Every structure is written in structure tokens, then in C-alpha cells.
Structure 1
């Protein structure tokens, strides 16, 4: 039963596909035919497969993605979905140094309220109707101007608005991946990349990160050995390490991608947190093989869900159709209007300048206080809110996260981010979420228990 569940969850068997014959499957599994009959009968009773007289058994449909494809790690502290759910479900009173967003008082709430009032005074359609298939034309034009300012030629028709950066990545996976495909990721990388790839039945292969990007020799070797379909990264302030892609590394990466016909997905969500723009794969490539995705949850609002994809026109057309088929359009017109209004507000630039300064101070303060506990940053990032740190004396970060969870503090242990599971003594800290006076005493106790 478990073997069939795994094959269905991995999309190796699809709805309507015939299962192996009873005798053939019995021989493969080394069991009696009666055992296979009982297993098939139980799966049919669950509604996972169905019996067709004269045709054997066929797949009834796919189970929810979370059933088997995602929840692969037995240790909940090492499960990226557990970390995400713990962060999302924790109330406002629970410290969340392991979460991936800023506190409410760090966000431009006044600009969002002004934008919301403008929407409320506008026409009824924005409050009641579906949006355009590609999303708000006003916001797409604004994004096109922002992209042009950094040297990326992407007109409004090359941009698709989505419900979030995560949905953007999901749509790209739906369009480009098939079950069993290999995807190259940074090691460590954003843990939701891994969860999404497992949900699509893809295999993630990691390439070790350096302070200037993925190790170029290991990247080239992985392309030769695994023939991946796509590569996924954050160029700006890589998550979780805070590393910045160098110009040399970017050119070598794109050269290798071209030689292997590799598509590149560049998540630009952290771009506005950089003090100065670093090299961008999408700009250097001109959206030939690079797909830019992003959103506004890190600098504007995690509540107002709105993301985007910028890519070559034929892929954008396919993604538009996919989004209509799966969610009947992109972000809510209200959400897109809120984002457009807040980005258009002259206060957004001032907000970003203030935010970068505040984060710089928080990084220095947090790094100093962590060092007092023997916790050392892997590097000091140019910007952003994450510190990728090594625990003292090889302490187990998962054990520390479990101990802190018992004290209602959410931490993010290193192996959650590591495909190779080689970050056992590493941990990501959100410097904007470290001001609660309970954090450091709980962290000290968690280290002692690890």
C-alpha cells in the first residue's frame, strides 16, 4: 500500500493509470498474490484506486500534496513545513526569531492605510469583480518602469501578477517540471523551495553556497552529473545566508546554464533591502533563460498577498493560462491596488531608506549578542534581516529548536534549509524579530539542552 501511495504522491502514477497486475506486483514485492489483493482492496476502500472489471485496478486521483510527497522528515523540528506552520500559527505574543518576515511596526502601515482609503473611494468594480488575467495593468506598468531603471527590459506584457512569490514559483514548476525532474538549488536554500519541489515530485540537488554565490566548480559538476531542468536561487541577499552574487560568479553561472540549456528561476523578493543593487541574473541575461519572480511581503506587507513573474512572452502566456486554470486569475484587485498605491506613494523610498538603516543597526546588535553566547555569523550580509550562524561546539540546531519551542520561541535550524543535511550546527536568525527580552535567555537554555 505504501509503495503505491509513494508512486501516486510522486506523480509517477496519474489519475486513470493502471496499476501493476496482482501477480506481477506480488512478484516484484516478494509477497503472495492474496496480500496484493488485500492491499488493493484497502486502497480502493480509501478511494485512492478503483477496480474496473476486466481492466484491473486504476488510480482514482492524486491525494493532497501534503500526504506523502512533502512530509518526508520524521523529526518535526527538521521539517520545513513544520517551521512554516509554527511561525504562521504563533500568536503575536510568541517570539519568532526563526520566521521570515518583519514585525508590523517595521512596515509602512500609514502608506497602506492611505492606499486602502483611495481604493475604498474608487469604483465598485475593484471591490467586487475579478481582475485582469495578467493582473492590474497599472501595477505591471509600474513594475516595468522599476525593472527598466535597473537595466531589465520587460514591458507590462512580459509581467504576470500572481497571488504571491510562492505562487509564482508554483506556476513556474507546473509549467516546466515533470515528476522525476531534477532541480538545482543552493545549499542551503529557502526551505519552501524544497517543500514545493517535493510537492511537484521533483528531486532537489544542492550546490554549496559561498559568500559570492554558488560554488562555480560544484555548479558545473552538478550540471554534468544530474542534467537538471531548472536552477532556483535568490541573487540578492540569498536566503538564508545573506550572500551576494558577484559579477564573476553571475557570468560563470549564466555561461554554464547556456551550455546545458538550463532555465534559471531568480527570486528577487529581497532586492529592495539591498543598500546598493548587486548583479542580477535576469538583467545580465535579458530574460532569455532567466525567469524573475518576486513579491512585496518583505518590505511592504505580508498580509497583502501579491507577487509577479517576469519572463519571455511565450512562457508568460503559458503561465497566464495556468493561473486562470488553477485559480481563475492572479491577486485580488484590492491587493494589487494596495501594492500599487503604496509603491506609488512618495513615502516608499523614505521607508526603504529608514528600513535599511534600522536593519543595519539590528544586524550589528544581534550579531554582538549572539557572539556573547558563542554563536558566530557565517558572514555579515550587506543588507536584509537574516543572519546565518554557527552554534558553538557543534551544538545540534534541531535539538535547540525543539527546546526553544517548549518555551514558545520559534527558531529555524540549519538542516531545514540544507538539501544535503550538512547544516546541523547552523541556524538562521531574523534580526528584526530578536528584540523580545525573552529571546536570548530562551536561546541560552536551548543551547545548554542541545
Structure 2
């Protein structure tokens, strides 16, 4: 690289730090010699870069003092943090396509069930009861922990999974995503390292990006995270958190094996790593699998979840289950950021629908329906040369390999041109090593347009 290229590299690094708020307005830039050593360039290259940035107005020079970040930083833009990715493999892009698409657009790449798979009759009955609730439920702020009836119900559900908790250890939140956000606010500082599965739920990556965390992936196997690689990453990076799915892993559908769970907990204890276990898919299991929270006794594991997959994604309500002192700190953060706890209307509505005598029957029927859909979808995809990585015990995802090493991002682009939203593998992969994988939502595969579009997308030149 020539001198001009090295100067441009230094300039780009400083612009990035200002854009990502790594340098606040008026903050002194790194010393010339210090930055030269860090970036492996000569001091004269750094001087040239700083002078050019000053000419642009991005920094200001104070003779005898150094260089300083100039005007107020621009708004934080997630797309500008980290590598610039093809929008077809950008987690935020996939989310926006799924959320903003018209209802009639097929969305086998989305992460929720269609309306006719959800317990709409129970929701309507609960809504009618809610209309007769006390005036305060419809008009007031909620209690900081959330209504007691729903927390009692959650405590019973936790006990069924071997997690014994009191209602004071449960905090209701605005959503499962907000639960993760609150935990990140409590435990992370910019630059802290967080371990995630590779592949993992793509919004974990997007949220950690917003917290300016350093994200490190641990390869995920059919029995859980690779325990040797987990221990190596924990020792090398000293992470603050490990964020994972339990029950049925997203996107792979795998289930954590007991022996792997114990090794992960031992490594986390050795390296002082707090584990956030997202239990959102628990209700889809035919029988309970090992839970890190149960094995750990909530010592260093925090359990989170929501009701968006089995009840309603429209009624925003999530929860955190943790040791009491952490719940107290999270309550303060939730008050500071949203004043009060979860909406009383949402919590009462969820409690009413879950308490409906038909809910357990609904879940049983849903598990049977999904089992049929997984088999049918696997058979249909096999006709296109697409194969599941494994056949999950439950849930609605199939993590599949495309034929002939086809690039999933190219297939997704081609399908989107015909109005079908897919979820290419690299969206889920921190290391971007899942380019020939695709996640399919079997409940969203019923539209007759999906398979023909997928067949054409696989054959498209761009794919």
C-alpha cells in the first residue's frame, strides 16, 4: 500500500470512531506517535491524515495541544458500525423486509407463525375480559415488576423446567428484545466482548451492535456450542456475556446435550462469564431438554423469554428471571428508560389468554401441526436439492444447505424480486461462514408461490 493509501486508512479509522461515538465532540484524538504505533504507520502519515481531517472540518487543531474531534457527532447509524455488508445478508435488512412486507407477501424467512396458527379465539376472549377490567388497568402506569398474576404463572412454568424461583425474581418487560437490552445496559460497556453462537438469532447481533459490543462467535454443533471453542474464546477474549437460545436453537433447531451444558457452565464459571439464556421456544418442545438456568440455579445464568411465538407478537410482553439483586438493578433501568414496567393492558391480556382453559390444548395441537409441516417441508425442499442440517425435535425452523454450494444471499435477492422474503445463512453467522445455508419457517411455506419462486431463484444467474 502506498503512502496515500495508508493516509486514507488512518483517516477512515478516525472518521469511523467519530461516527460510532468512540470520540466525543471536543475529545482529544490519539497522540500521533501512539496512533502510528497502533496502526503500523509512520508518524508523518498520521500527521498528514490529521491535517487533511482538519481541512475537512472533521477535527480541529490546537497548536501545542493536539487534534480534537470537531462538531457534534452524527446520529448513531448501525449500518455504519462494523463492516459494510451486502444488504441481502444484513440482519436489519431481513427484519425490515419481514416486518414491512404486505400481509399477502410470502415470508418463509420470517420468525413467527401465521395468524391462522395462533390462538386468536383465546386472545379475543381475553380481550373481552380486559374490556371489563378496572379503570386503572386501562389508564395507569404499571407496577415496576409487572402484575403479580402473570409473574405467578411464569414461576409455575419455570418450575416445570426445573428452575425454582420466587415471584420477586421475575421482571416483566416490554418484549424479549427489551429484556436483552436491559441486561446489556446493566452489564456491558462499549467495547466489552460478548460470545454468541455461530450461527445465532440475527437480532442478537444487531442489538449487541447497538451497544457497541465486540461480538465473538462460537461454532454451534448438533449438541450445542462447541465446548472446546467456547473455553478457548472465553480464555482469549474475557467476555462479559454469553447470549444463547435454549430448548430449540435458532436457527439450527438443535437441542443442548446435558454433557455439553455442564462443560459450558464450568467454562463460564472459570472465566466469570454471565450467560443469558433465551427460552422463547420452550413451548414447542415435545419434552423438556436441559436448561442452563436449572443446572446453574440462576447463579450466573439469566433466563429471558416472551410470548410472541406461541401467543401473539402484537401484544408486547417479555420477562427476565434472575437472582433478586439483579432484578432490582434491572427494575431501576427499566424505570429510567421506559418509566414503569410492562403495559398493564399487555400483561393482563397475556395472563388472560394463558389462563384460558384451551391454551394447553392449543399448544399440543400446534406441536402436532408443526411436526407434520417439518416433514412436508423437508420433502418439498428435497425436490430442489435443499437438505436440512438436522431434523429438529420441535419448532418451526429448518436450517438447510443449498444444492451445489449455492450462495444463499444471491438466492434471497432473486426471490425478493418476485416478492418472497428468505433468510440467507450469513445473516445468522458472525464469521460469515454460512453462505450456503438458508433458514426456512415451515409454517410460512404453505403459499403455493413459494416453491416455484425458490426453484427459479436457485436457477438465477446471480445465485
Q: TM-score, normalised by structure 2?
A: 0.90
Residue 13, structure 1, aligned to residue 23, structure 2: yes
Residue 69, structure 1, aligned to residue 81, structure 2: yes
Shift of 1:345: 1.1
Distance change >3 Å, CA 396–CA 122, structure 1 → 2 = same
1:3 corresponds to which residue?
13
Q: Distance in 2 between matches of 1:415 and 1:161?
A: 32
Q: TM-score, normalised by structure 1?
A: 0.93
Shift of 1:55: 10
Instruction: Look up the SS of the partner of 1:31 in the other structure.
Output: helix
* 1:292 aligned residue (303, 321, 333): 303
Q: Distance in 1 between matches of 2:156 and 2:189?
A: 34
Shift of 1:10: 4.2
Shift of 1:295: 0.4
Instruction: Look up the SS of the partner of 2:186 in the other structure.
Output: helix
Q: Distance in 2 between matches of 1:28 and 1:349?
A: 67
Output one character per residue of 1:57-79: Cα deviation in whole Å (capped at 9) or x when no partner. Answer: 56746723535227x43311010
Q: Distance in 1 between matches of 2:241 and 2:143?
A: 29
Residue 29, structure 1, aligned to residue 40, structure 2: no
The 5 A counterparts of 1:150-169 are 150-169=161-180
Which deviates further from its counterpart, 323-332 or 418-427?
A: 323-332
Output one character per residue of 1:192-214: Cα deviation in whole Å (capped at 9) or x when no partner. Answer: 01111111111111111111101
Unaligned runs of 5+ in 2: 1-10, 36-42
* 1:211 aligned residue (222, 225, 235): 222
Distance change >3 Å, CA 33–CA 173, structure 1 → 2 = closer
The 5 A counterparts of 1:228-307 are 228-307=239-318
Instruction: Look up the SS of the partner of 2:205 in the other structure.
Output: helix
1:352 corresponds to which residue?
363
Maintained 8 Å contact 2:201/2:428: yes
Distance change >3 Å, CA 385–CA 11, structure 1 → 2 = same
Output one character per residue of 1:151-188: Cα deviation in whole Å (capped at 9) or x when no partner. Answer: 21221111111111111111111111111111111110
1:373 corresponds to which residue?
384
The 5 A counterparts of 1:83-162 are 83-162=94-173
Distance change >3 Å, CA 24–CA 273, structure 1 → 2 = closer
Shift of 1:18: 4.1
The 5 A counterparts of 1:54-65 are 57=68, 60=72, 63-65=75-77
Distance change >3 Å, CA 10–CA 123, structure 1 → 2 = same
Shift of 1:43: 7.3
Shift of 1:11: 4.7
Q: Distance in 2 between matches of 1:242 and 1:408?
A: 26
1:319 corresponds to which residue?
330
The 5 A counterparts of 1:195-206 are 195-206=206-217
Instruction: Look up the SS of the partner of 2:81 in the other structure.
Output: helix
Q: Distance in 2 between matches of 1:426 and 1:256?
A: 29
Distance change >3 Å, CA 237–CA 257, structure 1 → 2 = same
How many equivalent residue pairs? 441
Residue 181, structure 1, aligned to residue 207, structure 2: no
Maintained 8 Å contact 2:423/2:439: yes
Instruction: Look up the SS of the partner of 1:432 in the other structure.
Output: helix
Unaligned runs of 5+ in 1: 45-50
Maintained 8 Å contact 2:21/2:73: no
Shift of 1:13: 3.1
Distance change >3 Å, CA 8–CA 315, structure 1 → 2 = farther
Residue 428, structure 1, aligned to residue 445, structure 2: no
Distance change >3 Å, CA 62–CA 286, structure 1 → 2 = farther
Maintained 8 Å contact 1:9/1:67: no
Shift of 1:349: 0.3
Q: Distance in 2 between matches of 1:33 and 1:201?
A: 25
Distance change >3 Å, CA 295–CA 27, structure 1 → 2 = farther
Distance change >3 Å, CA 129–CA 18, structure 1 → 2 = farther
